[in-house]
Chain A
Amino acid sequence: MDKLVQIKNITKYFDVKRSFIKLKRSSVVRAVDDVSFAIHKNETLGLVGESGCGKSTLGRVILRLQEPTSGTLFYEDTNLNLLKPEELRRFRTKMQIVFQDSYSSLNPRHKIGEIIAEPMTIHTEMTYRQIRERIYELLNLVGLKPGHANRFPHEFSGGQRQRINIARTLALSPNFIVCDEPISALDVSIQAQVVNLLQDLQDKLGITYLFIAHDLSMVQHISNRIAVMYLGKIMELTSSDRLFDKPLHPYTQSLISAIPIPDPKKERMRKTVVLEGEVPSPVNPPAGCVFHTRCPVSDELCSREKPEYREIEPEHYVACHYAGVRKVTEIC
């Protein structure tokens, strides 16, 4: 399959100043640490992880909304790192993002029509009339009415605002969209509406998604492949079906086991693995495997040596010394 976006050894470090007066040395948050993967054309790659694992940062780095500390970004054959600001701006028409907070990402003083028109006035030479036609077309596409163009963001519900965000994102017909937790803030019944909309748009327009979320069950539903992230590193990456049928990394196994099943009988029958403790601070991540402090099957080797991120089976990447050898469920 053709690769649309490819990232190689991407890292993103943030400097943290410890105090106002520089008494201590400043330290570094390793938000994204040596991540490589490719996103194929017309697929949805799900990116899951707990809060603070660096998934949103990675999403922004891929679009160069934040500059990576090191590593290379490719969009088809273009090396995004080398683009000058002006060239990058033109590139933005191909890559867009939908944010989690649908309210703060819409200007409260602008009407919906103005909000959706803005990318077109900046990037294209379309006439006023063409833009108006396009706005109506986009509103229809996301399931809103042309009359909504004259309203303000506060007049809409959360689900509708997310539709407006999607409409704006689509204004320039991008090929690649980063969806940064687009449904986390929505109610269950509305989540389903937005996910269905995203899937319909993909079928109609052939868009490629990077779908960031912390809810594995929703990601499973929408994605072709899933990458599991923990403390800035990819732990496991494979097809959505494989990940759930045969998860190889202990972290993935415990994540899957932590998802509540909406069926009381099945839920009572199964054994859940409750991960002890919390995610360590990314300022000084554990030595060796970053997950070893919470891993139910870790041993001395894990605390000493970093596991290699390797292709253990075709199209199935894992970073664990005991991938496929040790399972968390057998311990319990």
Chain B
Amino acid sequence: MKPILAVEKLNTRFETFAGSVYAVNDINFELFPGEILAVVGESGSGKSVTMLSLLGLLPGSSSRVSGRAQFSTAGIDVDLLSLSKSELNRYRGNHISLIFQDALRSLNPVTTVGEQISESLITHLGYNKKKARRHALELLELVGISQPDKRYSSYPHMFSGGMRQRAMIAIAISCKPEILIADEPTTALDVTIQSQILELARRLQRELGMAVIWITHDLGVVAGLADRVLVMYGGTAVEIAPVDELYENPRHPYTEGLLGAIPSIANKGIKRLVSIDGSPPDLFQAPRHCQFVWRCPYAFEPCWQNIPQNYEINKGHYSKCFYDLQNNRPRTEV
């Protein structure tokens, strides 16, 4: 199958007074039509920056993005990173749309929720106001907001956290995008509301057949949602695998540590959580070796000298690590 989005050698730097920040380093991944790809990592691991780079949403003055991001679907085949701002606007919002973590800050506080949904329909699909309103009401209904007629003319502050996130989703799916990027949409929500939103995301993905990139730091959320998982650390993609494979057979020490760090109701009685000692790396240094080496319990000499390549472990399962976790010894190639 041809990927709908193929990202190659994506690099993002920020120029600051203190020097360059190496926020994203050589990321490669593919997204296939109709799949849910989860991107997991700690804060500062570069997961949001990766997505913002793809859509040209970073401040142009201080950031430098390089690489390729081939977006190909029916009749379209473009490299998103080489487009100008006005060309990008043809794809952003209708072919590729984005949901942010903080729904209150991403909605306009002085416009009604309904108008904000209509707005994208009018801009991208050329609807007139009346048609846009009718469609917006359907969308509100689709994302599970009761009494759409009444809610259409409510302002964002009148909505609760969960409803705001639903409204954001309504805006994001209004133009039936091929790709939906969700940047930690459930992090600020309570568990019961989180499960409502996850349920909604699963249903919409099935009904509309979009490809979804779901960014999160919670491996628990990913388990029930994703088809494939990309694990990020220090601006690099350290492991990518189908979801079952990743949980059963993590092959990067960081993934292993992350899985050990979550207490689970399924494995009660564990007295001590596995914690990953130390703190995330300083991104002011250009990576010259594995970014995880300071915190890695398995680190040995080569880890300090080279950046590990992407080793294929199984079909579709890649890990950037010199250590063979399964056989508990360094890789023979090293």
Interface size on A, residues (CB 8 A): 44
The answer to whether B263 touches A260 (Cβ under 8 A) is no
Which 5 A-B pairs give the minimum distances between C-beta atoms?
A: A221-B263, A260-B220, A267-B224, A192-B275, A192-B261
Give the shortest distance, in Å, between B329 (CB) and chain A (any CB).
25
A263 contacts partner chain B, Cβ-Cβ < 8 Å: yes
B111 contacts partner chain A, Cβ-Cβ < 8 Å: no
A218 contacts partner chain B, Cβ-Cβ < 8 Å: yes
> B261 contacts which chain A residues (CB < 8 A)?
188-189, 191-192
The answer to whether B42 touches A189 (Cβ under 8 A) is yes
Picked from B160, B162, B220, B276, the residue with its CB within 8 Å of the CB of A262 is B220
The answer to whether B220 touches A259 (Cβ under 8 A) is yes
The docked-state distance in angstroms from the alpha carbon of A215 to that of B160 is 20
The answer to whether B193 touches A244 (Cβ under 8 A) is no
Quick one: which of A200-216 are within 8 Å of B by CB? 214-216
A264 contacts partner chain B, Cβ-Cβ < 8 Å: yes
Picked from A215, A217, A258, A262, the residue with its CB within 8 Å of the CB of B223 is A262
> B266 contacts which chain A residues (CB < 8 A)?
261-263, 266
> B162 contacts which chain A residues (CB < 8 A)?
278
Quick one: which of B148-170 are within 8 Å of A by CB? 160, 162-163
B306 contacts partner chain A, Cβ-Cβ < 8 Å: no
The docked-state distance in angstroms from the alpha carbon of A25 to that of B14 is 54
**Scoring A residues 265 to 284 as 1 if CB is less than 8 Å from chain B, else 0, what string do you get?**
11110001011101000000
Give the shortest distance, in Å, between B235 (CB) and chain A (any CB).
15
Say whether chain B's binding surface is mostly helix, strand, loop, or mixed: helix
Give the shortest distance, in Å, between A285 (CB) and chain B (any CB).
16
The answer to whether A264 touches B247 (Cβ under 8 A) is yes
B130 contacts partner chain A, Cβ-Cβ < 8 Å: no
Give the shortest distance, in Å, between B41 (CB) and chain A (any CB).
9
From known contacts A157-B279, A254-B192, A275-B192, infer whether A216 and B243 are also in contact, taking CB-CB under 8 Å: no
The answer to whether B263 touches A218 (Cβ under 8 A) is yes
> B268 contacts which chain A residues (CB < 8 A)?
220, 241, 244
Enumerate 24 A-B pairs (CB-CB under 8 Å) in ascending A order: A50-B190, A50-B191, A187-B280, A188-B219, A190-B279, A192-B260, A214-B191, A215-B191, A217-B263, A217-B264, A241-B268, A258-B191, A258-B192, A259-B265, A260-B194, A260-B221, A261-B265, A262-B222, A262-B262, A262-B264, A263-B223, A263-B264, A263-B266, A274-B199
A199 contacts partner chain B, Cβ-Cβ < 8 Å: yes
> A217 contacts which chain B residues (CB < 8 A)?
220, 262-265
From known contacts A189-B257, A216-B191, A244-B268, infer whether A265 and B275 are also in contact, taking CB-CB under 8 Å: no
The docked-state distance in angstroms from the alpha carbon of A188 to that of B196 is 22
Known interface pairs A193-B275, A220-B263, A262-B220; 8 further A-B residue pairs with C-beta atoms within 8 A, sorted by A's residue number: A50-B190, A258-B192, A259-B191, A260-B198, A262-B259, A272-B195, A278-B160, A278-B163
A51 contacts partner chain B, Cβ-Cβ < 8 Å: yes
Give the shortest distance, in Å, between B51 (CB) and chain A (any CB).
19
B43 contacts partner chain A, Cβ-Cβ < 8 Å: yes
> B262 contacts which chain A residues (CB < 8 A)?
188, 217, 262
The docked-state distance in angstroms from the alpha carbon of A178 to that of B97 is 43
> B160 contacts which chain A residues (CB < 8 A)?
278
The answer to whether A187 touches B273 (Cβ under 8 A) is no
> A196 contacts which chain B residues (CB < 8 A)?
272-273, 275
The docked-state distance in angstroms from the alpha carbon of A190 to that of B274 is 10
The answer to whether B272 touches A264 (Cβ under 8 A) is no
The chain B residue sitting closest to A260, CB to CB, is: B220
The chain B residue sitting closest to A265, CB to CB, is: B244
The docked-state distance in angstroms from the alpha carbon of A272 to that of B198 is 11
